[in-house]
Chains A and B, each alone.
Chain A
Amino acid sequence: MSRHDVVVVGAGMAGLTAAVRLAEGGATVLVLAKGVGATHLSPATIDVLGYAPDRVDRPLEALAAFAERHPGHPYGVVGAAGVAAAVPWFAERFADGPLAPYAYTGTADENLLLPTAVGVLRPSAVVPETMAGGDLRDGGEVCVVGFRALKDFHPRLAADNLSRHPGVTARGIELDCVPEGRVDVNALGFARAFDDAAFRKDVVARVAGRLHAEERVAFPAVLGIADPHAVWSELQDRLGRPVFEIPTLPPSVPGMRVFATLRERLRRAGSRVVLNNVVTGAEHRGGTVTGVRARVGLRDVVHGADWVVLATGGFASGGVELDSRWAGREVALGLPVAGIPAPGEERFGPAYFGEHPMARAGVAVDADQRPVGADGARVFDNVLVAGATLAGAEPWREKSGEGISLATGHRAAGLILDAAGSAQRSAVAATEG
C-alpha cells in the first residue's frame, strides 16, 4: 500500500488546484481520477459570479450579500476572501508554466463581457489573454471568423446576435480552409492546425484583405495548443489589430491548456496525476479515513493517506448520482447527498429556464469543508470536499462554475497545509518540551 500525505480524488479544476497548492506547499500528494474532468469541455474562463439573478458587474463586492441569500452556497463557505486569494494564485501558475508567456488576465473585482458562440455577451472575471480582447462592455466592431469544417462554431449566427447588443456591430465570415483536406474537424484538430505556420499564413491571407478599419477579429478558441501565445500574437501582428478567441462546443482547447499547465506544475512539485483510477470507497477508523480504495482495471488498490480531498465533480461528471428511485449517491466515498426532494415531490420544473427544486443538490459541508450528514454532523474529520461536488450552487445559471471549483480547491489545500503545519509545530513543541 502506497502512503501519501494527501490523496486528491478528481483531476478537474478543483482537484488539480488543491493538488498543486498542496504539493507546492511541501505535502506528498497523489491525484487519482477516473478520467480528465470538465477542463476538457468548458471554456476555461474563471467565472466568479455572473448572475445573481440580475447581471453582476463587480463579483467580489457582490459575493457576501449573495452568499447570505443562499445559505449553504460554497461561496458562503470560502467567503470573498477565499475567492480573492485563489484568483491571483491561479493566474500566477501560468507565469513560467509550460505554455508561458500564455497568461490569464483580469481580476475578481469586475466582470468582462465576452461573446459566446451564439452571440451572447457573457460575464467572466479572469480569462485567458487570448479571450480578453473580446470584452464588449463598451461596444465595438467585430469580424467573427469561422471555418466551414468546424461545425462547433457558427460565426454568422454569433455575429448576428452580437449586433443586437447596443453599441456592437458584428459580421461573420466562414473560411473554407481545412486542415489536411478533411470536412469534419473538431476544435482540437483546428488547434493543431494553427500550431502550423503554413496554416496560419493561409488563414491570414484569406482574412486580411476583408477587414474594415475599426474591426477586431474573433476566432473560435482554437488558436494553438502547443504555443497559444505565439499563435495569437502572430495573428494580431499580421492582421494589425486585436484578435480574440470565442469558446466553441467541446472539446475545449483553452481548457486543455489549463490542464496541461496545472499538471506540469504538479509534476515539478514532485507529484502526479494517475488517470483510470475509479475510487470506490474509503478505509476508515471511525470518523477518520486511513486510505481510499481505487479500482484499476480489474484490481482494487488501497492508497493510504492522512488527508483526502474529494473533488469528483457534480452530476455532470458522475461524482454524484441519482437512481430511478430517487436515491442520491456520492460515488467515491459514499457521502450523503443533500438537496434531493423526497420521492413524490417535484425534482424539476416544466420550464427549462425556470426553477428546478433539485438544482442545488450535492455534498453539504461545514465551515471547514468537511462533509456533513442531514443532521449537520461531520462524516469524516480528514476528508475535505471541493468543486462541483458541493451542494448549494446552481453554477450554470450563476456563471460561477470555475470560480467555485478554483476557490474551494484552493482553500481545501490551505486548510490541510495549516492543519499539518500546526500538527508539525505541536509535534516539535512536544519533543522540545
Chain B
Amino acid sequence: MARLQADVLIIGGGATGAATAWDAALRGFDVVLVDRADLAEGTSGRFHGLLHSGGRYVVKDRVAAEECVAENAIVRRILPDAVEDTGGLFVTTPDDDPAYGDRFMEGCRAAGLPAEEIPVAEALRMEPRLNPGIQRAFTVPDGAIDVWKSVWSLAAGAAAHGARILTYHKVLDLHVGDGGVTGARVRNELTGEELDIEAGFTLNASGAWAAQIVHMAGIEGIGVIPGKGIMIAMNHRLVNTVVNRCTMPADGDILVPIRTVSAIGTTDIRAADPDEIPVTQQEVDQMLDGGERLVPGLRQARALRVWAGVRPLFQDDRSGPAAADTRDVSRGHAVVDHAERDGVRRLLTMSGGKLTTMRLMAQDLVDAMCRQLGDERPCRTEHERPPGHEDGRHMQIGDRLRRREATLRDEQLICECELIGRSRLEQTMQTRGTLNLDDVRRQLRLGMGPCQGGFCIYRATGILHGVERLDGEEASASLTSFLQERWKGVWPILYGDQLRQARLDDWIFQGLLDVEHLPEAAAVVPDEELSAS
C-alpha cells in the first residue's frame, strides 16, 4: 500500500477543513487534507449563502452573535472576492410581534452589532418587493458569501504553502496506537486504490460525519443529530439585500440574494442519516409560504432549484441530553479534545459552527493542537489573504457580464444563463483534470441558471469529450450522471415556468438526443434484438 507522511491530517474538505488547512499551513505545518468527495460537497456546498452579521443570534445566543460580528469583518477583509456586500434587513412582518424588535436592538447593542432602525417607507424604497405590511425594519451588515470561491482559494493558499489536498479520498479507518491516533487509511474513490497516511496529528473537520470518524478510533458516546434544512433558489434577485424575519428563528425566514438569483430558506428537521436527505413537497410548500410572508408573490416567481443540507449538531452523552428541536442546540462551535474526554491523544474534533465563523473555528482547532503538541505557533489568518483576493475588491453582480462583454466577439458562449465562455470552461476542465461534469458545474456554476443545463450540458459534454480525450462511454456516463444530479434538484419544485423548462429539457435530452438509449444502456438488451433490426 502507498504511504504518505505529514505533520497534520485534516479530514474534511468543507469550509472548516479548508480554513484549517490554510491556518495550519500558514503556521508552517506539513498538511494533508482529505475529503471523500470534491471540496465543499458536504454541508458547505449546500448552505444558504449568508455571511451572518450576527443578527440572527443576538437574542438567543450572545456568544454566537459576537463571533459573527467579529468574523464577518475579518472574512470581508481576507476573502473579499468571495463576498458580495449586500447588506441586510431584519423586518417585522404582519405576523410577528413588533416588540421583538426592541429585544433585537438590545441584543445588537450588547453584541456590538451595528444595527439601525429605519422607517418602513425607507425599507420599502430599498426593497420594493418587500411585504408592504411590515411594521418595523432594521439594517445590519449581512453579506452574501460564495462558498466555492472561499473554499477553493483557502485550499489553494494552503497548497501554495505545501499542503497536499486530496479530494475523492475517503477515510476508511483511523490508525490507533501509542495512546492516540497515528494516521488513517484512505481510499481513492476514483481509482479504488488505498493509501496509508501517517500523521503526527489528526484534525476531524468532517462536520455531520464527525461521529463516524471518531467511532473509527473506538470512541463512544458521541453522535451527530443531522438537522435537515432546505433552500429554494428563485429566478432573479427578488431582493438585493439579505432579508431576515425579525422574530425567533423559524422556517423560511431568510431570503438571500446570491449572484443572479435569490434563495429562500430554511427548515430544520431531524434526519436519520446525513447522506439521506430527500426534499419533500410539503417542505417546499412550507418554504414558499415563508417566502410569501417576506415577499408577497414569491409563489408566482420561478423556482429554479431546491437543495438540502444538514446541520452538524453534536450530541455528547457526557454532557446531558440534547434538546428536541435541533435548532435549539447551540450554533456555537466547540473543539472536542479526545485526549481529555477519551484518553485518545493526537485527535481533535470540531463540532458545530457556521460557515461565517470558519476561520475562527480553524484557529481554535489549530491552537488546541499546538497546545497538545506543546508547540505554540501564532495564528496568522486574521490578516493574510489567500490567492485570488489580492486586490481587496468585493465581488459584484455584474462581474461576469463585464468579463463577457470584453470577449463578446471572439469567444463562444457555452452557458448562456451563467455567462460561461468556452475558454474558461476548457481551462477549468484542463486544470481540474476531471472526467466529471458535476465537478465543473460546482466550480463554474455551469447549468445552474434558469435553463438548468438544457442547452449547455450537451455542449459541455462535447467539449469535455474533446479536452479530456474521453471515449464515448466515459462522456456518456458523465452526461447521464449530470442529468440525474440536476433532476435531483428540480423535481420537487416543478411548477409554473420551471415545469415548462423541464419539459423543454425533456424534449432535448429524451426526444432530440435520446440520451436514455445511449449504447451503454442498450448493453442490457439481448444481442439478438440488436442484430435483428
Q: Are B466 and A315 in contact (CB under 8 A)?
A: no
Say yes or no for A37: interface residue by CB 8 A criterion. no
Cβ proximity bits B450-487 to A, threshold 8 Å, 1 near / 0 not? 00000100110111011000011101100100011011
Q: Select one of A41, A151, A161 contacting B476, CB under 8 A.
A: A161
CB-CB under 8 A from B496, the residues of chain A are: 321-324
Say yes or no for A404: interface residue by CB 8 A criterion. no
Q: How far is the CB of A127 from chain B (nearest CB, A)?
A: 14
Q: How far is the CB of B334 from chain A (nearest CB, A)?
A: 36
Q: Are A154 and B512 in contact (CB under 8 A)?
A: no
Q: Are A154 and B511 in contact (CB under 8 A)?
A: no
Q: How far is the CB of A278 from chain B (nearest CB, A)?
A: 15
- Alpha-carbon distance A161/B479, docked complex (angstroms): 12
Q: How far is the CB of A337 from chain B (nearest CB, A)?
A: 12
Q: Are B459 and A154 in contact (CB under 8 A)?
A: yes
Q: Select one of B422, B513, B527, B529 contacting A120, CB under 8 A.
A: B513
Q: Are A118 and B511 in contact (CB under 8 A)?
A: no
Q: Are A184 and B413 in contact (CB under 8 A)?
A: yes
Q: Are B514 and A122 in contact (CB under 8 A)?
A: yes
Say yes or no for A249: interface residue by CB 8 A criterion. yes
Q: How far is the CB of A251 from chain B (nearest CB, A)?
A: 11
Q: How far is the CB of B365 from chain A (nearest CB, A)?
A: 37
Q: Are B500 and A344 in contact (CB under 8 A)?
A: no
Say yes or no for B100: interface residue by CB 8 A criterion. no
CB-CB under 8 A from A157, the residues of chain B are: 461-462, 465-466, 472, 475
Say yes or no for B419: interface residue by CB 8 A criterion. no
Q: Select one of A156, A350, A352 contacting B465, CB under 8 A.
A: A156
- Alpha-carbon distance A161/B520, docked complex (angstroms): 9
In chain B, positions 490-528 with a C-beta closer than 8 Å to chain A are 491-492, 494-496, 499-500, 503-504, 506-508, 510-520, 522, 525, 527
Q: How far is the CB of B227 from chain A (nearest CB, A)?
A: 22
Among residues of B, the one whose C-beta sits closest to the C-beta of A316 is B503
Residues of B in contact (CB 8 Å), total 63
CB-CB under 8 A from A100, the residues of chain B are: none
Q: Are A116 and B512 in contact (CB under 8 A)?
A: yes
Cβ proximity bits A23-49 to B, threshold 8 Å, 1 near / 0 not? 000000000000000100111000000
In chain A, positions 100-149 with a C-beta closer than 8 Å to chain B are 113, 116-122, 137, 149
CB-CB under 8 A from A321, the residues of chain B are: 496, 499-500
Query: Are A399 and B514 CB-contacts (below 8 A) given A113-B533, A152-B459, A249-B458?
Result: yes
Say yes or no for A206: interface residue by CB 8 A criterion. no
CB-CB under 8 A from A156, the residues of chain B are: 462, 465-466
Q: Are B510 and A316 in contact (CB under 8 A)?
A: no
- Alpha-carbon distance A161/B506, docked complex (angstroms): 20
Q: How far is the CB of A402 from chain B (nearest CB, A)?
A: 9
- Alpha-carbon distance A184/B420, docked complex (angstroms): 13
Cβ proximity bits A159-174 to B, threshold 8 Å, 1 near / 0 not? 0110111110000000
Among residues of A, the one whose C-beta sits closest to the C-beta of B492 is A348
CB-CB under 8 A from A347, the residues of chain B are: 281, 494
Q: Are A324 and B499 in contact (CB under 8 A)?
A: no
Q: Select one of B414, B483, B495, B516 contacting A151, CB under 8 A.
A: B414
Query: Are A154 and B531 CB-contacts (below 8 A) given A42-B512, A315-B500?
Result: no
Query: Are A42 and B472 CB-contacts (below 8 A) given A315-B499, A349-B491?
Result: no
Query: Are A137 and B533 CB-contacts (below 8 A) given A154-B465, A156-B466?
Result: yes
CB-CB under 8 A from B465, the residues of chain A are: 154, 156-157, 160
CB-CB under 8 A from A323, the residues of chain B are: 299, 495-496
From A51, A54, A184, name the one whose CB has the most chain B CB atoms within 10 angstroms: A184
From B282, B461, B491, B531, name the one whose CB has the most chain A CB atoms within 10 angstroms: B491
Cβ proximity bits A337-351 to B, threshold 8 Å, 1 near / 0 not? 000000010111111
Interface-side segment among B181-189, B199-207, B404-412: B404-412
Q: Are B458 and A117 in contact (CB under 8 A)?
A: yes
Say yes or no for B488: interface residue by CB 8 A criterion. yes
- Alpha-carbon distance A314/B513, docked complex (angstroms): 20
Q: Are B533 and A160 in contact (CB under 8 A)?
A: no
Q: How far is the CB of B148 from chain A (nearest CB, A)?
A: 24
Query: Are A344 and B282 CB-contacts (below 8 A) given A38-B507, A116-B512, A151-B422?
Result: yes
- Alpha-carbon distance A120/B533, docked complex (angstroms): 15
Among residues of A, the one whose C-beta sits closest to the C-beta of B292 is A324
Q: Are B513 and A117 in contact (CB under 8 A)?
A: yes
CB-CB under 8 A from B211, the residues of chain A are: none
Q: How far is the CB of A154 from chain B (nearest CB, A)?
A: 3
Say yes or no for B137: interface residue by CB 8 A criterion. no
Say yes or no for B530: interface residue by CB 8 A criterion. yes
CB-CB under 8 A from A167, the residues of chain B are: 531
From A38, A151, A182, name the one whose CB has the most chain B CB atoms within 10 angstroms: A151
From A54, A164, A322, A356, name the one whose CB has the most chain B CB atoms within 10 angstroms: A164
Query: Are A164 and B473 CB-contacts (below 8 A) given A120-B513, A184-B413, A249-B455?
Result: yes
Q: Are B472 and A163 in contact (CB under 8 A)?
A: yes
Q: Are A249 and B412 in contact (CB under 8 A)?
A: no
Query: Are A350 and B458 CB-contacts (below 8 A) given A156-B466, A183-B411, A315-B503?
Result: no
CB-CB under 8 A from B525, the residues of chain A are: 55
Q: How far is the CB of B421 from chain A (nearest CB, A)?
A: 9
Cβ proximity bits B374-418 to A, threshold 8 Å, 1 near / 0 not? 000000000000000000000000000000000001111110000
Cβ proximity bits B422-465 to A, threshold 8 Å, 1 near / 0 not? 10000000000000000000000000000000010011011101
Say yes or no for A250: interface residue by CB 8 A criterion. yes
- Alpha-carbon distance A54/B503, docked complex (angstroms): 22
Q: Are B458 and A152 in contact (CB under 8 A)?
A: yes
- Alpha-carbon distance A166/B492, docked complex (angstroms): 39
Say yes or no for B32: interface residue by CB 8 A criterion. no
Q: Select one of B411, B495, B507, B516 contacting A41, CB under 8 A.
A: B507
Say yes or no for B366: interface residue by CB 8 A criterion. no
Say yes or no for A76: interface residue by CB 8 A criterion. no
Q: Are B282 and A120 in contact (CB under 8 A)?
A: no
CB-CB under 8 A from A149, the residues of chain B are: 412
Among residues of A, the one whose C-beta sits closest to the C-beta of B479 is A118
Q: Are B512 and A247 in contact (CB under 8 A)?
A: yes
Q: Are A324 and B533 in contact (CB under 8 A)?
A: no
CB-CB under 8 A from B520, the residues of chain A are: 164
CB-CB under 8 A from A118, the residues of chain B are: 458, 461, 476, 479, 513-515, 518
- Alpha-carbon distance A152/B410, docked complex (angstroms): 17
CB-CB under 8 A from A250, the residues of chain B are: 455, 508
- Alpha-carbon distance A401/B491, docked complex (angstroms): 22
Say yes or no for B128: interface residue by CB 8 A criterion. no
- Alpha-carbon distance A322/B496, docked complex (angstroms): 5
- Alpha-carbon distance A69/B492, docked complex (angstroms): 29
- Alpha-carbon distance A111/B411, docked complex (angstroms): 40
Q: Are A151 and B519 in contact (CB under 8 A)?
A: no
In chain A, positions 265-308 with a C-beta closer than 8 Å to chain B are none
Q: Are A160 and B510 in contact (CB under 8 A)?
A: no
- Alpha-carbon distance A153/B462, docked complex (angstroms): 8
In chain A, positions 181-213 with a C-beta closer than 8 Å to chain B are 182-184
CB-CB under 8 A from A79, the residues of chain B are: none
Q: How far is the CB of A322 from chain B (nearest CB, A)?
A: 5
- Alpha-carbon distance A83/B268, docked complex (angstroms): 54
Cβ proximity bits B310-347 to A, threshold 8 Å, 1 near / 0 not? 00000000000000000000000000000000000000
Q: How far is the CB of A393 from chain B (nearest CB, A)?
A: 12
Query: Are A166 and B531 CB-contacts (below 8 A) given A38-B507, A348-B494?
Result: yes
CB-CB under 8 A from A151, the residues of chain B are: 412, 414, 422, 459, 462
Say yes or no for B360: interface residue by CB 8 A criterion. no
Say yes or no for B288: interface residue by CB 8 A criterion. yes
What are 17 sample pairs from A and B whose C-beta atoms fall under 8 A apart?
A: A38-B507, A57-B533, A116-B513, A116-B514, A118-B479, A137-B533, A152-B455, A154-B461, A164-B519, A184-B413, A315-B503, A317-B500, A347-B281, A349-B491, A352-B486, A352-B487, A399-B511
Inter-chain pairs besides A249-B508, A316-B504, 10 sampled, C-beta below 8 Å: A113-B533, A117-B512, A118-B514, A119-B519, A120-B514, A152-B459, A156-B465, A161-B475, A249-B455, A399-B511
6 A-B pairs with least C-beta separation: A154-B462, A160-B472, A316-B503, A352-B487, A164-B519, A161-B472
